[in-house]
Amino acid sequence: MTHLSRRGFLGASSAATTAAAYLFTGATPGPQEGAEGSTEDEAAAQESTDASGAITIASTSAPASLDPGLATDTETERICRQIFEPLVGIDKDTGNVSPLLASDWEVSSNGQVYTFALRRGVTFHDGSELDAEVVVQNFQRWGRLDYLYGTNAMHRSTPLAFPSVFGGFMGSADCVLESVEALDERTVELRLSEPVVYLLQALTLPAFGIISGELLTDIDPTRVDRAPAGTGPYELAERENGAVALEAFGGYWGSNSGPERVVVQPLPKSFDRLRELQRGAVDVYDYITADNLRSLVQAGRLYLQRDPFSVIYMGINTTHPILSDFDIRRAAARAIDRQSLVNQLFLDGSRAAFQFTPAALAVHSDDAVRHSYNPQLAQELLEESDYDGEPLDFYYPITTTRSYLPRPEAVFASVAADLTAAGFNIRPRPVPWDEGYVDQMLNDSDRAFHLLGRNGGFRSPHSFFAPLFRQPNREFNFTNETVNDLLDSARAEDDEEQRTTYYQQVADELQEQLPAVPLAYPISALALGSSVRDYPMSPVLNERFADIELTET
């Protein structure tokens, strides 16, 4: 395991570019994020911008879409967080929910009515004004994304934020959002059929970023992706070959002390991100891999570490004719040496995983079956089963790095070697991430295993359990009414101790069924060039470019 402290700086920094335009050139001025909890008068006044300079961030892939409602991957969320803003945000110092487009809110005593007061003086990038009716239209759109994009398309994809948070799309029997209404020009009311105890935290997700009402049309739902307009501190300037250039929005309601221009350049291979940082072509190298850390240390690079809030897992197709046998799934879980995997391939601070929620959420179950490494038991289970060495397709992404999966090729090689040693016949199915890895994997009904993971979007076990196991999807072909009922009970439970018990029972049931095998809770980190003094790190990836600090020149 490679050691990485939370914040390290070793030796003298080498030079990095201040022009920072790796693909695009030019920049225009504009402003950022207002002080959390500002008064209405302060919000109404346009604050001057201190935004200056330009940087390039080396990311891992192009955003899948610039429609925030469709955001399910970290690179899409990275860009959407800059362009769009939800009603509430996250205090960067405390991690608590804080005002953003809503300056204040009230929750009824029964937890079923949320009333939001909107901030004054907020305009979208297209010049239109924020009002309550626009917010209502956004909620209605999120609740109808299955209709706008087609029910089959939604069922094929990774579950979206709206159905994960509210239980289903609007109109479905499982959806707990009964209505959303504009009480007046600046007041929005949400009514629920039952409480959602984590609702405020969930509404901080970039998927709930408010879109300009001028873009909300049933006829052309993809217009949002082509010409996004939000209220955020940055607006889209250019988009080419996967790279995205953002410029500070001059009409922003708050303040922006970050860069004037930010280019997010996808460089899927970790070595390419390292090389471009070392030669000064990029200023931020995100998702450091353990094999590159020595070079960063030798160059004296400043690096920052995120608190662990993600899980990598080996997914299982539970309807596969062989893996529908629980004992064969159990053999696979027992065959994998998680600790060796973590020691060899992940940064220090990463931990082997035996459940799906990171330790920070404090809902681990002591009663859950621990499918620890036992190669002899794995072999015995296979020998006693009907498995006769048939090849099993194992999908894994290549030419990418994710927050939860820093070195997918190496992780696959390690896991596949363990499975092979136990008696499995593994047939590799590598797919480049940017060539639709998730879609190709989901569309192959004959697949057996796959590598994937999840970064928690807000501080609740629901942000892990619900998207993975509550909503019908084809990733595991797993539906369990016990899990569904427990998650629904936890969603409405106000008593923290009882809610924890529900989540622990979910963990118990998942280890009894094994729709997937959790492997590790990875640490992720980034390295900075000499032009960047600090970067706003967040375990839930709430990293706003307006909070980036550049080196004074």
The two structure tokens encoding residue 256: 């922006």
d(CA 226, CA 233): 19
Residue 52 pLDDT: 79
What average pLDDT score do residues 58-86 get? 95
Residue 39 pLDDT: 44
Find the helix or strand (DSSP H, E) in which 432 lies.
Answer: strand 425-432
- Residue 553: exposed, middle, or buried by beta-carbon count in 10 A (0-12, 13-18, 19+)? exposed
Residue 49 pLDDT: 61
Residue 17 pLDDT: 36
In total, the chain counts a number of residues equal to 553
Q: Would you give the distance in Å from CA 269 to the centre of its chain?
A: 20
Q: How confident is the model at residue 136 (pLDDT cuts 50, 70, 90)?
A: very high
Closest Cα partner for 312 from 510, 514, 452? 452
Provide the percentage of residues in the chain whose pLDDT is more than 70: 90
DSSP 347: B
Query: 161 has which bridge partners?
Result: none
CB neighbour list of residue 400: distance below 8 Å, 6 or more residues apart: 60, 61, 268, 408, 432, 433, 434, 437
pLDDT digits (tens, 9 = 90+) for 361-405: 999 999 999 999 999 999 999 999 999 999 999 999 999 999 899
CB of 334 closer than 8 Å to CB of 517: no
Residue 128 pLDDT: 97
Residue 280 pLDDT: 95
Residue 302 pLDDT: 86
Cα dihedral 522, 527, 532, 538, rounded to 10, equals 0
Neighbours of 271 (CB within 10 A): 12
- In terms of pLDDT, which residue wins out, 39 or 269? 269
Residue 34 pLDDT: 35
Q: Determine which of 3-17, 127-141, 220-234, 368-382 has the lowest per-residue pLDDT on average.
A: 3-17
Q: Give yes or no for residue 223 having a pLDDT over 70.
A: yes
Half-sphere exposure of 445 (CA within 13 A, CB side): 3
Cα dihedral 270, 544, 14, 63, rounded to 10, equals 30
Q: Give yes or no for residue 181 having a pLDDT over 70.
A: yes
Q: Please give the full DSSP string across 78-114, using - where no structure is assigned.
A: HHHHHH---SEEE-TTT--EEESSEEEEEE-TTS-EE
Q: Euclidean distance between the first and final Cα of the chain, in Å?
A: 37
- Residue 18: exposed, middle, or buried by beta-carbon count in 10 A (0-12, 13-18, 19+)? middle
Residue 472 pLDDT: 72
d(CA 82, CA 524): 21
Instruction: Report the greatest alpha carbon distance in the chain.
Output: 73
Q: Give yes or no for residue 216 having a pLDDT over 50.
A: yes
Q: Which domains occur in the chain, in start order?
A: 51-83+233-306+524-552 (3.40.190.10), 85-213 (3.90.76.10), 310-522 (3.10.105.10)
Residue 218 pLDDT: 85
Q: How confident is the model at residue 25 (pLDDT cuts 50, 70, 90)?
A: very low
- In terms of pLDDT, which residue wins out, 45 or 122? 122
Residue 546 pLDDT: 96
Residue 22 pLDDT: 44
Mean pLDDT, the chain, integer: 90
CB of 430 closer than 8 Å to CB of 398: yes
Q: Determine which of 96-105, 112-121, 153-162, 288-297 has the lowest per-residue pLDDT on average.
A: 153-162
What average pLDDT score do residues 321-335 get? 98
Closest Cα partner for 483 from 505, 458, 456, 463? 505
pLDDT digits (tens, 9 = 90+) for 422-461: 999 999 999 999 899 999 999 999 999 999 999 999 999 9
Residue 210 pLDDT: 98
pLDDT digits (tens, 9 = 90+) for 466-522: 999 987 778 999 999 999 999 999 999 999 999 999 999 999 999 999 999 999 999
The two structure tokens encoding residue 515: 């729709």
Q: Determine which of 137-141, 488-492, 549-553 has the lowest per-residue pLDDT on average.
A: 549-553
> CA of 33: how far to CAs of 27, 272, 496, in Å?
19, 32, 33
Residue 154 pLDDT: 57
Cα dihedral 230, 231, 236, 237, rounded to 10, equals 140
CB of 532 closer than 8 Å to CB of 549: yes
Residue 260 pLDDT: 97
Half-sphere exposure of 140 (CA within 13 A, CB side): 16
Residue 4 pLDDT: 43
Query: 8 has which bridge partners?
Result: 303
